[in-house]
Amino acid sequence: MNREFTRQVIHISMAGFALTFPFLSAPWAFLLAVCAFLHNIFLLPQYAPQLFREREKISQGIVLYPVMVGVLILLFPTRLYLAAGAWGILAFGDGFSTLIGRRWPLSPLPWNPRKSLGGLLGFMAAGSVAAWILMAWNMPEISLRHLAMTAAGAAFITAVYESLPLPWDDNLVVALAAAMFLCLFWDLDWSRDTTSITGFQWGVALVVNFLLASLAWWLGLVSSSGAGGGLFIGVIILAMGNWEMYVLLLLFFFLASIATRVGYHEKMLIGGAQEKGGRRGAKHAAANCLLPVSAVIALGSSNGADLHLALFFCGALATALGDTISSELGQVYGRNPFLPTTFRRVPAGTVGAISVEGLLFGMGACALLAGIACVLGVLPAALIPAVTIGSWLGFYAESYIGGYWTEEGYEVNNEWMNLLNTFIGGTMALAVAMLTRGL
């Protein structure tokens, strides 16, 4: 316990170096992160072996920490205040989550008994306060209210994401999630009136979607609940977004419906067919479209930087499409399904299993949606690679996590997995765009 306490205190205190960002350029800040990385590999084990857990010659977390700080600087070279905020969530949120979770656990989390409610609340509180203070120090001309709302929103989402039983180091998970959602929330004007959508717009959206939802139900593509869920999602996107985004939603639904019916009898034999004769319900619509819809709603409070939200929308929706196509067609045409965690061959229909053929179908679907988004003018051509690569990472990560959870004995819920992969796909699209300077 003493060793772990010392590790977490150092983990937290290192964020103090973010106070130097106003006096450093991005190259110098990155160079210092590289020096910290080399220090943690070669020098720290020599003079502070007590920081390493038993049988550890080198700690993955201690090495990844400066790496992720360097990544944050690369993501925001001209906006180091966002790198500082993400560093605050990484240091204080993750650190206090461990300290408070061990001292005052309160109760285990329903979705991950290895982590506690006390740790989750500690993460949210400490991460949001630290991000708020560090961003205010680095960007004092911005209103404290805007900084507080941005920090709290990013810390809340990152805390929930970090609490999941994921197969990756917390430093990687927390840093990337915090960075992407600080970026998204930063662009929101929390005081803006978003009631400018007219009743006529709502009425047109309602009529159009009622007709299409009724047609989909009559054709046997969705259940009654699916028609209701699709009606709600479609109205939001058409009224609060634009018709171009709505076309992308229809493309997703059309291609996913076709893929569901391809080889349906064969999928029934292996137990991988969609229930109710292929009719998808409201839970499927929510799992795949909740985050894209959230991005569209947020567009109503964007502050002149709609491109970030549009990119997240396209990345999340492309991930949902790629995952559906990969899963549905992979069961039919995949010849050697395997688990991405171990590359061990498994029977078709195994949770988390993928095939080369399924991956190629899914990757093609992601690229198709990204290309059509460009043609429609939702995104510039320079962001096609970001959407494509981010969505590939998203639906592959879902298979990897599904295989990991299966091996660890966790219950795998397909709808929650779909929600998770759209989250990863949207954030990875943003990260790729920033790293390649597409944004």
If asked whether residues 73 and 131 sit together in one domain, one would say yes
Query: 128, 155, 186 — which closes off a domain?
Result: 186
Secondary structure (H, E, C), 119-152: HHHHHHHHHHHHHHHHHHHHCCCCCHHHHHHHHH
Percent pLDDT > 90 in the chain is 55
Q: pLDDT: is 146 or 270 the higher one?
A: 146
If asked whether residues 162 and 203 sit together in one domain, one would say no
pLDDT at residue 272, as a whole number: 62
Is the separation of the CB atoms in 63 and 45 below 8 Å?
no
If asked whether residues 301 and 205 sit together in one domain, one would say yes
Domain count of the fold of the chain = 2
Tokens 């939702």 belong to 378
If asked whether residues 130 and 229 sit together in one domain, one would say no
Residues in Cβ contact with 110 at an 8 Å cutoff, skipping those fewer than 6 apart: none
Q: Which amino acid is at 126?
A: A
d(Cα 327, Cα 342) in Å, to the nearest integer?
Answer: 19
Is residue 191 situated within a structural domain? Answer: no
Is residue 389 situated within a structural domain? Answer: yes
Confidence of residue 193 (pLDDT cuts 50, 70, 90): low
C-alpha neighbours within 13 Å on the C-beta side of residue 268:
9
Task: Look at residue 152 and tell me whether its pLDDT is greater than 70.
Answer: yes
Angle between helices 384-408 and 356-375 (to 10 degrees): 150
Q: Which amino acid is at 326?
A: S
If asked whether residues 110 and 21 sit together in one domain, one would say yes
Structure tokens at 163: 């609490």
pLDDT at residue 371, as a whole number: 96
Is the separation of the CB atoms in 84 and 18 below 8 Å?
yes
Tokens 């819809």 belong to 293
Domain span holding position 379: 199-435
Average pLDDT over residues 408-424: 85
d(Cα 168, Cα 179) in Å, to the nearest integer?
Answer: 17
pLDDT at residue 412, as a whole number: 75
d(Cα 220, Cα 202) in Å, to the nearest integer?
Answer: 27
If asked whether residues 119 and 221 sit together in one domain, one would say no
Residues in Cβ contact with 146 at an 8 Å cutoff, skipping those fewer than 6 apart: 190
Phi first, then psi, for residue 89 (nearest 5°) are: -65, -40
DSSP 194: -
Is residue 155 situated within a structural domain? Answer: yes
Question: Each residue of 157-185: pLDDT tens digit?
Answer: 999 999 999 988 899 999 999 999 999 88
Burial letters 415-426, b for 16+ CB under 10 A, else e: eebbbbbbbbbb
Is residue 194 situated within a structural domain? Answer: no
If asked whether residues 222 and 182 sit together in one domain, one would say no
Confidence of residue 304 (pLDDT cuts 50, 70, 90): very low
pLDDT at residue 181, as a whole number: 94
Q: Which amino acid is at 143?
A: S
- 188, β-bridge pairs: 302
**CA-closest candidate to residue 380, choices 424, 324, 436:** 436
If asked whether residues 218 and 165 sit together in one domain, one would say no
Task: Look at residue 123 and tell me whether its pLDDT is greater than 90.
Answer: yes
Structure tokens at 111: 């979705």
pLDDT at residue 350, as a whole number: 72
Is residue 339 situated within a structural domain? Answer: yes
Is the separation of the CB atoms in 310 and 316 below 8 Å?
no
DSSP labels for 253-287? HHHHHHHHHTTHHHHHHTT-SPTGGG-B-HHHHHH
Question: Each residue of 216-245: pLDDT tens digit?
Answer: 999 888 888 889 999 999 999 998 888 999
Percent pLDDT > 70 in the chain is 92
For the chain, state the CA radius of gyration: 23
Is residue 193 situated within a structural domain? Answer: no
pLDDT at residue 78, as a whole number: 92
If asked whether residues 169 and 236 sit together in one domain, one would say no
Confidence of residue 51 (pLDDT cuts 50, 70, 90): confident
If asked whether residues 212 and 356 sit together in one domain, one would say yes
Structure tokens at 269: 């034999």
Confidence of residue 58 (pLDDT cuts 50, 70, 90): low
d(Cα 52, Cα 68) in Å, to the nearest integer?
Answer: 19
Task: Look at residue 286 and tell me whether its pLDDT is greater than 70.
Answer: yes
- 109, β-bridge pairs: 112
DSSP labels for 198-225? -HHHHHHHHHHHHHHHHHHHHTTSB-HH
Query: 186, 211, 237 — which closes off a domain?
Result: 186
Neighbours of 255 (CB within 10 A): 17
**CA-closest candidate to residue 318, choices 381, 393, 264:** 393
Q: pLDDT: is 277 or 19 the higher one?
A: 19
Residues in Cβ contact with 117 at an 8 Å cutoff, skipping those fewer than 6 apart: 105, 106, 107, 108, 109
Query: 163, 186, 209 — which closes off a domain?
Result: 186
Task: For the chain, give the mean pLDDT.
Answer: 88
If asked whether residues 136 and 223 sit together in one domain, one would say no
d(Cα 280, Cα 275) in Å, to the nearest integer?
Answer: 8
Is residue 192 situated within a structural domain? Answer: no
The beta strand positions in 8-123, using DSSP E, are 108-109, 112-116
If asked whether residues 216 and 339 sit together in one domain, one would say yes
Confidence of residue 336 (pLDDT cuts 50, 70, 90): confident
Range from 2-6, 24-28, 228-232 carrying the lowest mean pLDDT: 2-6
Q: Which amino acid is at 320?
A: A
Average pLDDT over residues 186-194: 64
**CA-closest candidate to residue 171, choices 229, 250, 86:** 86
3-state secondary structure of 110: coil
